[in-house]
Amino acid sequence: MQTWKWLTQPTKPYTWGFMARVVVKAAVLFALLNVIFALVNPLPTLGHMSAYNTLLTGRERLPYGENPPASYNLSLYNLPAMVESLTVDTAPADDEFRVLLLGDSSVWGILLEPQDTLAGQINRLDLRTADGRRVRAYNLGYPTMSLTKDLMLLDYALEQAHPDLIVWLFTLESFAPDAQLEPSFVQNNAERVQALIRRYDLSSDPGDPRFVEPDFWESTIVGQRRALADLLRLQLYGVMWSLTGIDQEYPDDYTRRSIDLEADETWHDFTDPQTFTADDLAFDVLAAGAQRVGSIPLLFVNEPTFISEGENSDVRYNAFYPRWAYDEYRRVLDEQTDSAAWPPTLDLWDLLPDAECYTDSPVHLTPTCEAQFAAQVGDAILDLSAAGS
Amino acid sequence: MTLTNILVFIGAAALYVALLPERLRRWALYAGSIVAIYWLQPALRIENLDFIFPTATLVLVVLGWLLSRAPEQRWQREDTISAGIMVALVLALSLAGRMLVESVRITPSRPPSPVSLAVVAIIAAALLGGLSWIGHKRRLFVPAILLIVVLFVILKTTPLAEETARLLRERTGQPASLASASDLGWLGFSYVAFRLIHTLRDRQMGRFPELTLREYVTYAIFFPAFTAGPIDRAERFIKDLRALPGREPTHLTVGLGRIAAGVLKKFVIADSLAYFALDASKAAQATSTGETWVLLYAYAFQLYFDFSGYTDIAIGIGQLFGITLPENFQRPYTRRNITQFWQSWHITLSNWVRFYVFSPLSRYLLMRKHKPSPTVLALIGQMATMIVIGLWHGVTWHFVVWGVWHGVGLFMHKVYSDRTRMAYIRLRDRPRLNQWIGIAGTVVTFHFVVIGWVWFALPDMATSWDVFLRLFGL
């Protein structure tokens, strides 16, 4: 074969000495590259090398997918690569009023197409601020419930996205102390999260054993091969995302949220009804977020949740919450909202009483109900933009 | 072949070169190939089938050897030893597979018992032994070739494969309703079938060399080329096998270089392109003309890098063991016309079909009382050749259409080149124009081939036709 002449017909016959030198040099080079990789840790830098927003269409929401061949999306832990893949990673237009939405899977939009998510619905409203700027919402939701995860995303996005306003959406589940470091996305970004815990003196333990802190060998190319492969896969799935606009698997059939519930009053580590204080929940993380955003307006939103009228609905609102826990949470939230230093809070927990609004979870909405929710959040955005200008 | 398979073969090659004296190497390739076909065979859902298929391959190969021996060729002591090693290895694999835990078992699932295998071996040996004493073997060539073709048709025709799977499931007490064509994943059968037909046909024509059982089996199931070719010719393979090199480093450097290139092509480039290469689900999702072209280009290059990468790996592993397998690809997408494309795409398959389909058919037509005109002869020959290649991939209408597409292309190019030969000769004086015409020819040929892949990549006629129209905005 012509292409292989240099190899198959060498000008000088190969010798065992030559072979040995090649093997030794290759082994040394390989070892050296691994050591340099482990010492330098180029993964964050590699994460910034993205074909999105140039060769490929930017994504409307963060990469997340458990069945990549069906969703053209995958879950990875490289925060720079994830944010680089979003449309938010472009400079704002002159007439743009840029709003970042933080939150859980309800903001990310499980079972919703990108245009039907909260961000998509707000953009569909084509809102204008008092000074004529077009409101453009960006989805930074991620399908796990943890305020610490949101804080990590906020901290990173503030450096990249130049927002004019931030809307942080949550529900009680995100406040559970044991949920703060639970997402593997958080555990695999240990350095960032530990820095935040220390900087804002959060109640989570920076030495929590769940943090994934690779040792030297795990930091080499060999040890990080999965992370490297994920970076490449994110770019490759971007082609099909660009061509089809599909970034999530939409099953024809799925399990609906439960209407009939167990008579169980347990919520996380709390086995019996009790009185909450702000210290029992992760309000310190919200406070840290408020401090982190500085002068940028911040809006807190307690998102709509399903209120069941089925069996044992006198004990529980839904599969997530015993009534006592959710009522206590709202009471403490009210107390915080009443304090002067607290950013404005929009409590929309019972905005959507129709059971048909909720799909597979007590917080996942249908497109129609998401539109109602978006109208409320949109109004609040305009109010806040007017107050800030 | 997985990366694990490749690494194991490289390790085995290192031991083979470092430890084995030359006189044992041919035996090692023989025994290694027998073990490898069991190891490479993926697990199947029907009980024992993943053991039965490699065993049936061995039986067919032995049958092929018995029939393709020259009439004067005698059974030698070496053949007895070879047969003994084969039976011993199969029984040992069965015994080990039943005694060892799953993690160290070499066969994909638990094999049948050695006792039942021994009974089968005795019956097979009696039948094959009886066959070896039959005088007029020429009468058996056609039935033997027909047997291979019938097996091939069953495996490649989905309804027939499903029905066979259903029958096998009923025999093994497994739910027949779950039967599918993938139950009959007989690894390597297509390529072994080509090799057996080649040896039988060449013996029929009196031009096949004398091979021992060991040589014949090694040729037919040589493990680097067992799963996806290339399809070597026995006489060329045996030349290498009988002159295995000593401990020279060249074969190792050449082999490892080829394997590295093949791994890059197959596991990096082709597997990356697969993320957005055309398939039925992506065809349904990407609906615009531009999107469909992107998927199709990705498929075209994925197919090339996948297959030529595998060929590089096969050739590389062959080199490690001292065997030079034939080339299968010669930059096919850069060719100026469709004839050149088929001289550089899956070369060994094209040559095989040319030898055993095109040439005999042309000879037959020319020997008839009413000879067809050269144009009609070319049309029939090209169409038959390409339809056979299409059907080899699967007995379905869309593969037939793919074959017809290329048959028509080859025929039209022949007619065109016959009429423009003088004009092209004159073009040699105008190299710049000649170069531009060459580039235009490459672009046209590439797109002709790429559009043809629509019929190859998609599972049914309706989807293929829909995508075909969409490529032109229709």
Tell me which residue in B252, B258, B295 faces A4 most closely, judged by beta carbons: B258
Determine the residue type at B263: V
Residue in chain B closest to A11 (alpha carbons) equals B250
Does the distance separating the beta carbons of B331 and A19 come in below 8 Å? no
User: How big is the CA angle at A270 (ends A269 and A275), to the nearest 5 degrees?
Assistant: 145
- The answer to whether A141 touches A107, Cβ cutoff 8 Å, is yes
Tell me which residue in B254, B272, B275 faces A240 most closely, judged by beta carbons: B275
> Which tens digit of pLDDT belongs to each residue from A77-122?
999 999 999 998 778 888 999 999 999 999 999 999 999 999 999 9
Please tell me the predicted confidence (pLDDT) of residue A349: 95
Tell me which residue in B249, B276, B295 faces A14 most closely, judged by beta carbons: B249
Alpha carbons A56 and A59: distance in angstroms, whole number: 9
Report ipTM for this prediction. 0.82
* Residue A111 DSSP SS3: coil
Structural element, H or E, at residue A388: helix A367-388
Please tell me the predicted confidence (pLDDT) of residue B246: 83
- The answer to whether B461 touches B397, Cβ cutoff 8 Å, is yes
Residue in chain B closest to A73 (alpha carbons) equals B275
Determine the residue type at A47: G
Neighbouring residues of A266: CB distance < 8 A, sequence distance ≥ 6: A322
Does the distance separating the beta carbons of A4 and B257 come in below 8 Å? yes
Does the distance separating the beta carbons of B291 and A244 come in below 8 Å? yes
Please tell me the predicted confidence (pLDDT) of residue B266: 96
User: Rounded to a whole number, what is the distance in Å from the CA of B272 to chain A's nearest CA?
Assistant: 7
Per-residue DSSP letters for B268-334? IIIHHHGGGS--HHHHHH--SHHHHHHHHHHHHHHHHHHHHHHHHHHHHHHHHTT--PPP--S-GGG
> Which tens digit of pLDDT belongs to each residue from A14-70?
888 888 898 899 999 999 999 999 999 999 999 999 999 999 999 999 999 999 999
A123 has a pLDDT exceeding 80: yes
Q: How many other β-carbons are positioned within 10 Å of the β-carbon of residue B346?
A: 20
Answer whether A6 touches B (CB < 8 Å). no
Neighbouring residues of B290: CB distance < 8 A, sequence distance ≥ 6: none
- Where helices occur in B100-156 by DSSP H, the ranges are 114-133, 138-156
A3 has a pLDDT exceeding 70: no
Does the distance separating the beta carbons of B249 and A18 come in below 8 Å? yes
- Where helices occur in A52-183 by DSSP H, the ranges are 68-71, 79-84, 105-108, 118-124, 147-161
User: Rounded to a whole number, what is the distance in Å from the CA of A51 to chain B's nearest CA?
Assistant: 15
Answer whether A132 touches B (CB < 8 Å). no
Euclidean distance between the first and the last CA atom of chain A, given in angstroms as a whole number: 71
User: Rounded to a whole number, what is the distance in Å from the CA of B142 to chain A's nearest CA?
Assistant: 37
* Residue A135 DSSP SS3: strand
Pairing of strands A134-139, A345-347: unpaired
- The answer to whether A240 touches A97, Cβ cutoff 8 Å, is no
Tell me which residue in A1, A240, A246 faces B327 most closely, judged by beta carbons: A1
Q: What residues of chain A, 226 to 265, have a C-beta less than 8 Å from chain B?
A: 232-233, 236-237, 239-240, 243-244, 246
> Which tens digit of pLDDT belongs to each residue from A226-256?
999 999 999 999 999 999 999 999 998 899 9
Lowest mean pLDDT among A144-158, A195-209, B43-57, B129-143: B129-143
Residue in chain B closest to A242 (alpha carbons) equals B291
Residues of B in contact with A15 (CB under 8 A): 249
B251, B276, B335, best to mutate vs chain A, most A CBs in 10 Å: B276
pTM above 0.90, yes or no: no
Phi and psi of A298, rounded to 5°?
-130, 135
Residue in chain A closest to B324 (alpha carbons) equals A8
Does the distance separating the beta carbons of A10 and B250 come in below 8 Å? yes
Does the distance separating the beta carbons of A13 and B250 come in below 8 Å? yes
B217 has a pLDDT exceeding 60: yes
Q: Which long-range contacts (CB under 8 A, 24 or more apart) does B416-425 make?
A: B417/B337, B417/B339
Tokens standing for residue B129: 């032994």
Answer whether A9 touches B (CB < 8 Å). no
Residues of B in contact with A250 (CB under 8 A): none
Burial class (CB in 10 A: 0-12, 13-18, 19+), B302: buried
Give the residue from B4, B52, B18, B40 showing the smallest Cα distance to B223.
Answer: B40
Does the distance separating the beta carbons of A236 and B275 come in below 8 Å? yes
Beta bridge partners of A298: A166
User: Rounded to a whole number, what is the distance in Å from the CA of B331 to chain A's nearest CA?
Assistant: 9
Tell me which residue in B249, B257, B298 faces A16 most closely, judged by beta carbons: B249
Mean pLDDT within A196-222: 95
Please tell me the predicted confidence (pLDDT) of residue B298: 97
Give the residue from B263, B188, B189 showing the smallest Cα distance to B226.
Answer: B188
Cα torsion through A301, A317, A334, A181, rounded to 10? -60
Residues of B in contact with A240 (CB under 8 A): 275-276, 282, 285-286
Please tell me the predicted confidence (pLDDT) of residue B189: 94
Neighbouring residues of B278: CB distance < 8 A, sequence distance ≥ 6: B292, B295, B296, B298, B299, B453, B454, B457, B458, B467
A2 has a pLDDT exceeding 60: no
